Chain A
Amino acid sequence: MYKTSDGEEIFVIDAHIHLWDARPENQRNVHGAQFINCFHDYHSALSPPEYLWSAEKFQYYGPETLYEDLFVNGYDDMAVCQPTYLKDFYTNGFNTTEQNAELLKSYADRIILNGAFDPRDGEAGLEALEGLVETYGIQGVKLYTAEWRGDSKGYKLSDAWAKRYLEKAQSLGIKNIHVHKGPTILPLNRDAFDVADIDDAATDFPELNFIVDHVGLPRLDDFCWIAVQEPNVYGGLAVASAFVHARPRYFAEMMAELLFWVGEDRLLFASDYGIWQPKWLIEKFMTFEMPDDLKAETGVDLTMEGKRKILGLNAAKLYGVDIEAKKASLGSM
């Protein structure tokens, strides 16, 4: 819970967090080491200096540190835990649904556990998805379309098998599809960050919500265009919000674009913890004000009401969280 200077309480749902294990003993090969190093570079590039972690702490921080950083110090009331399997890089996976489910043992009231699927798993994966819904009651999945799998360097949401998985997800009652775009997808001559397949999927599955991680970066322009056309496309602000500290002018320009094209009802705050910590992200986001020149030019502003929606109300709608009831139950503990 964030409290403004006039005592107003703002309920925060952090739409994108991880509990990963990238320790050397879990790294399967050089890619495992390179992957966590790359994350650590993101962490180092955009965090304020007092929040920097050593490479060693960054490899594994564990459930207790996570709880402290998010819910004790970090203003988060709830957080959506997104899995990233990466079994080609990590022996037990990087942060699978099963690994993340550890958090439910102690913090079930605060964690929204998401699952994952990969269309390249064929029929067996469809059954596994059913299992995830039965075991954990997941309402959302995280898809990483650039994940390596044997000889494959990724897939598209418009692939025939991807459609079968989306159909299955919908029939199982899953509502929220978080999509992360990354490079090295095949065929290699195409733009690996192309978000056009999200457009196709959002049109074909109007009842599913597609939350595009990192607001489609580095294809923000294409993402905005798709979000204008498709009412069920949302933007997750992980990475984008981290710029509020290191490059505030760019953050302002980006937010102006997003508010203009996508609007305050379809943007979700996300820390991407452990890459960044919600404490400083939220403090800086709350004190941020849209510069006058951008307000004048784009006609948009980031108001207190907009901040409230982005920090929690929008995610509460997607995940069916009754905020007043939740506040009461968390407060009475």
Chain B
Amino acid sequence: MSASVKSLDPRRDEIWARLSTVSDPELDESVAAMGFVESIEISDSGEVRIGFRLPTFWCSPNFAFLMAHDMREAVGGLDWVRRAEIALTNHCNAEEINRGIGGNLNFAETFPGQTEAELDDLRATFRRKAYQGRQEKILRYLMAEGYTTERLADLTMGDLTSLVIADSKFETLRARYAEIRCEFGGPDASDDIAFTTPEGDAIDVNNFKQYLTVLRRVRINTQFNANMCKSLLDARYDSAGE
């Protein structure tokens, strides 16, 4: 990639913005923020090549495949992109995954005989954990702001949307929760309850503390993994000072 493309090409920013919407399903953090995007190359004719790296040689191939797939979809969605290639490096399944994503194969076709199904269940399991993790973060924030469990159990989507707290951290937590809520929490009209279980049920105010304890366990695990992955990526690529 030439220096001029790197510093001046606005297409690069568009690609970066797209990659920022792609999550590591296990960590619920974007591949861009995690440092998994090693390079972006763009040709004059609109061919894009994304260099993709992971914290270890043995990171689970299923998550690696999901991320590579989602990156290709996200980047390929830009109207000027003629072709999006994902190049996973330094990974035990790099060859298979690059070939599979490049050839538009599904997971079973990419790993013939080594899988019994596509990755929908795996994705759903971790999306549910992401819902729990995002919900816990915003609930804890509001509790620290003085909201009681009674108030939180009754809060509607309308209440949540119209809350004014002058803190960008809150804005981020609310946006992240709102984005995922519709997948689990049922209808989100303004008079619907804002915080529901992953099954879409209201949270029993008498069991609110126990409910939070479960959420917390899920969140700590996710954050722990994200920390571990960041530390390992730094150690592997000596990028701590970047």
Taking Cβ atoms with an 8 Å cutoff, the residues of A that contact B are 31, 34-35, 37-38, 40-42, 44-46, 153, 182-184, 186-193, 217-221, 224, 243, 246-247, 250, 253-254, 257, 260-261, 298
| Nearest A residue (CB) for B58 | A183
Instruction: Enumerate the 4 nearest inter-chain pairs by beta-carbon distance, A residue then B residue, closest first.
Output: A45-B231, A41-B235, A34-B57, A44-B235
Q: A184-B61, A218-B221, A220-B224 are in contact. Are A189 and B231 (CB under 8 A)?
A: no
Tell me the complex Cα distance, A253–B220, Å. Answer: 7
Within 8 A of A (CB), among B206-237: 213, 216-218, 220-221, 223-225, 227-228, 231-232, 234-236
Cβ B62 vs Cβ A192 within 8 A: yes
Q: Which of A35, A190, A250, A298 has the most CB of B within 10 A?
A: A190
- The smallest C-beta distance from A189 to any residue of chain B, in angstroms, reads 4
Tell me the complex Cα distance, A35–B234, Å. Answer: 17
Cβ A188 vs Cβ B107 within 8 A: yes
Chain A residues with CB below 8 A from B62, complex form:
188-192
Tell me the complex Cα distance, A182–B224, Å. Answer: 16
Cβ A188 vs Cβ B227 within 8 A: no
Cβ A188 vs Cβ B56 within 8 A: no
Cβ A220 vs Cβ B60 within 8 A: no
Cβ A188 vs Cβ B228 within 8 A: no
A183-B60, A189-B107 given; 11 more Cβ-contact pairs under 8 Å: A37-B57, A37-B236, A153-B114, A183-B59, A187-B114, A189-B121, A192-B62, A243-B224, A243-B227, A247-B227, A257-B217
Tell me the complex Cα distance, A189–B116, Å. Answer: 7
- The smallest C-beta distance from A218 to any residue of chain B, in angstroms, reads 4
Cβ A191 vs Cβ B125 within 8 A: yes
Taking Cβ atoms with an 8 Å cutoff, the residues of B that contact A are 26, 55-62, 92-93, 107, 111, 114-119, 121-122, 125, 129, 213, 216-218, 220-221, 223-225, 227-228, 231-232, 234-236
B232's partner among A41, A260, A261 (CB-CB below 8 A) is A41
- The smallest C-beta distance from A175 to any residue of chain B, in angstroms, reads 29
Chain B residues with CB below 8 A from A254, complex form:
220, 224
Q: A44-B235, A220-B221, A224-B217 are in contact. Are A250 and B227 (CB under 8 A)?
A: yes
Cβ A41 vs Cβ B115 within 8 A: no
| Nearest A residue (CB) for B125 | A191
Cβ A221 vs Cβ B217 within 8 A: yes
Chain A residues with CB below 8 A from B232, complex form:
41-42, 45
Q: Which of A218, A219, A220 has the most CB of B within 10 A?
A: A218
- The smallest C-beta distance from A321 to any residue of chain B, in angstroms, reads 31
- The smallest C-beta distance from B204 to any residue of chain A, in angstroms, reads 20
Tell me the complex Cα distance, A44–B119, Å. Answer: 33
A to B CB contacts below 8 Å, 15 in the list: A31-B92, A35-B57, A44-B235, A45-B232, A46-B231, A183-B58, A184-B93, A186-B114, A187-B114, A188-B111, A220-B221, A221-B218, A250-B220, A254-B224, A257-B220
Chain B residues with CB below 8 A from A37, complex form:
57, 236
Chain A residues with CB below 8 A from B221, complex form:
217-221
- The smallest C-beta distance from A219 to any residue of chain B, in angstroms, reads 7
| Nearest B residue (CB) for A217 | B224
Chain A residues with CB below 8 A from B117, complex form:
187, 189
Tell me the complex Cα distance, A305–B16, Å. Answer: 52
- The smallest C-beta distance from A69 to any residue of chain B, in angstroms, reads 21
Chain B residues with CB below 8 A from A217, complex form:
221, 224-225, 228
Chain A residues with CB below 8 A from B93, complex form:
184
Chain B residues with CB below 8 A from A246, complex form:
231
Chain B residues with CB below 8 A from A192, complex form:
60, 62
Chain B residues with CB below 8 A from A190, complex form:
62, 122
Chain A residues with CB below 8 A from B235, complex form:
40-42, 44-45
Cβ B114 vs Cβ A38 within 8 A: no
Chain B residues with CB below 8 A from A31, complex form:
57, 92
- The smallest C-beta distance from A60 to any residue of chain B, in angstroms, reads 20
| Nearest B residue (CB) for A253 | B220
B122's partner among A189, A219, A253 (CB-CB below 8 A) is A189
- The smallest C-beta distance from B130 to any residue of chain A, in angstroms, reads 13
Chain B residues with CB below 8 A from A243, complex form:
224, 227
